[in-house]
């Protein structure tokens, strides 16, 4: 019996050891599998980063401005099965630009959100700017490189279940197109996205107004080269602006530049704001009152205070002696003090007043001189009379002397 019990203990111990070994092996295998998956994931991410560093073009944009990008599967390309890569090799860029027979060359400034169209100069280089377009770029917009346009579409489905008008494919899933629409109908515009033109608002495509998207669609044939670059300088023609339309409930579902005859923006007149009319009238009246006050103040300032003190002292002293020696003394002293204090902001008023004063002074001086001359003549007459009297007196004395003799 003792041998049997010992044998059972040994068997039980062996079983326990085997189970422990199995558990350890299983755990180790699970851990190794997990590490392998993590390593593969890290390697995949590293490859993606490396590929993105080589080529900044991420080719799966999402074009619904009203949908959260994170909630849409970025790998879903079912909406765009015609995508093809059209990037030109760097060493071939200058060659294709020089040899191109296309009428236009397109440059997209993803920093300033401006598209500039160029045509060739006399040397065959695309240096003459023709047209500037305001646009919206996005995170997946290429940052550099030259590409070649391919397919064109009147309407095209975009990722997120929205639509674009006048679409021109640049490369992959990057297209020129209008601001997105809820449906393929021109009266379903995403007006919130339209107000963002000129800013970074798309997922990668180049959003334009309908007018500009149609111009590119109609005038730039397939095979037109498109270059991407970034600069704070919008370009030689500057940066156009787009109308803000969200506040206009009557027309905002349409692109203002859409040539469709049904477009309510055609012939639209902004309504007059009658609510603020009393306030405007009151403001106008206040402005008039302010102007009148300013004019009154100016008039007061232009008043001229002139004080003129003119003292004319004309003293004529005449002394007549009836004797043989007659002396006449005439003293004429004329003193004129003129003080003029003028405070004015108008030089013409000052000139008139001063001229008037001078004229009056001259008249008074002339009168004074005249009076002086009169007095002098009087004195001379007195002297003449005195001389006659003296002569008569002398004759009388002579006669008396003769009589005595």
pLDDT of residue 61: 42
pLDDT of residue 396: 58
pLDDT of residue 9: 81
The structure tokens 């109609």 sit at 218
d(CA 205, CA 140): 8
pLDDT of residue 288: 54
pLDDT of residue 82: 76
Give residues with Cβ within 8 angstroms of 372, minimum separation 6.
314, 316, 332
Q: How far apart, in Å, are the Cα atoms of 239 and each of 79, 114, 207, 213, 242?
A: 32, 6, 15, 16, 10
Nearest to 135 by CA among 107, 155, 102, 104: 107
d(CA 117, CA 213): 12
Per-residue pLDDT of the chain (405 residues; tens, 9 = 90+): 667 777 788 888 888 999 998 898 888 777 766 655 554 444 444 343 344 444 444 334 444 444 443 344 444 555 677 788 999 999 999 999 889 999 999 999 999 999 999 999 999 999 999 999 999 999 999 999 999 999 999 999 997 889 999 999 999 999 999 999 999 999 999 999 999 999 999 989 999 999 999 999 999 999 999 999 999 999 999 999 999 999 999 999 999 999 999 999 999 998 876 555 455 455 545 555 555 555 544 444 444 343 333 333 333 333 333 333 333 333 334 333 333 343 444 455 556 666 666 677 666 666 655 555 555 555 555 455 566 666 666 665 555 555 444
pLDDT of residue 321: 36
Domains of the chain: 69-229 (2.40.440.10), 303-404 (no CATH)
């Amino acid at each position: 019996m003792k041998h049997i019990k010992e044998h059972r203990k040994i068997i039980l111990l062996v079983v326990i050891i085997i189970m422990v070994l199995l558990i350890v092996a299983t755990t180790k295998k699970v851990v190794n599998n997990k590490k392998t998956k993590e390593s593969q994931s890290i390697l995949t991410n590293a490859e993606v980063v490396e590929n993105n560093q080589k080529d900044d073009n991420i080719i799966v944009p999402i074009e619904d401005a009203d949908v959260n990008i994170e909630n849409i599967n970025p790998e879903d390309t079912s909406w765009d099965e015609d995508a093809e890569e059209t990037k030109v090799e760097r060493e071939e860029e200058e060659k294709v630009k020089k040899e191109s027979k296309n009428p236009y060359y397109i440059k997209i400034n993803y920093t300033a959100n401006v598209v500039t169209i160029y045509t060739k100069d006399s040397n065959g280089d695309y240096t003459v700017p023709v047209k500037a377009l305001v646009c919206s770029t996005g995170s997946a917009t290429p940052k550099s490189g030259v590409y070649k346009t391919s397919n064109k579409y009147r309407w095209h489905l975009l990722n997120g279940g929205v639509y674009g008008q006048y679409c021109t494919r640049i490369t992959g899933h990057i297209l020129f197109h209008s601001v997105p629409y809820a449906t393929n109908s021109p009266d379903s515009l995403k007006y919130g996205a339209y107000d963002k033109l000129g800013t970074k608002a798309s997922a990668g495509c180049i959003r334009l107004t309908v007018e500009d998207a149609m111009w590119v669609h109609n005038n730039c044939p397939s095979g037109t080269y498109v270059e991407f670059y970034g600069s704070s300088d919008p370009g030689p023609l500057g940066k156009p602006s787009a109308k803000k339309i969200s506040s206009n409930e009557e027309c905002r579902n349409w692109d203002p530049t859409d040539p469709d005859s049904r477009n309510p923006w055609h012939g639209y007149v902004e309504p007059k704001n009658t609510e603020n009319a009393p306030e405007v009238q009151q403001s106008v009246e206040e402005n008039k009152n302010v102007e009148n006050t300013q004019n009154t103040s100016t008039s007061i300032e232009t008043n001229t205070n002139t004080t003129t003190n003119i003292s004319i002292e004309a003293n004529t002293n005449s002394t007549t002696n009836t004797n043989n020696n007659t002396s006449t003394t005439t003293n004429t002293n004329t003193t004129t003090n003129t003080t003029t204090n003028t405070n004015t902001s108008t030089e013409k008023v000052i000139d008139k007043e001063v001229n008037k004063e001078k004229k009056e002074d001259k008249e008074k001086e002339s009168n004074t001189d005249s009076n002086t001359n009169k007095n002098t003549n009087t004195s001379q007459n007195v002297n003449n009379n005195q001389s006659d009297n003296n002569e008569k007196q002398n004759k009388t004395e002579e006669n008396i002397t003769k009589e005595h003799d």
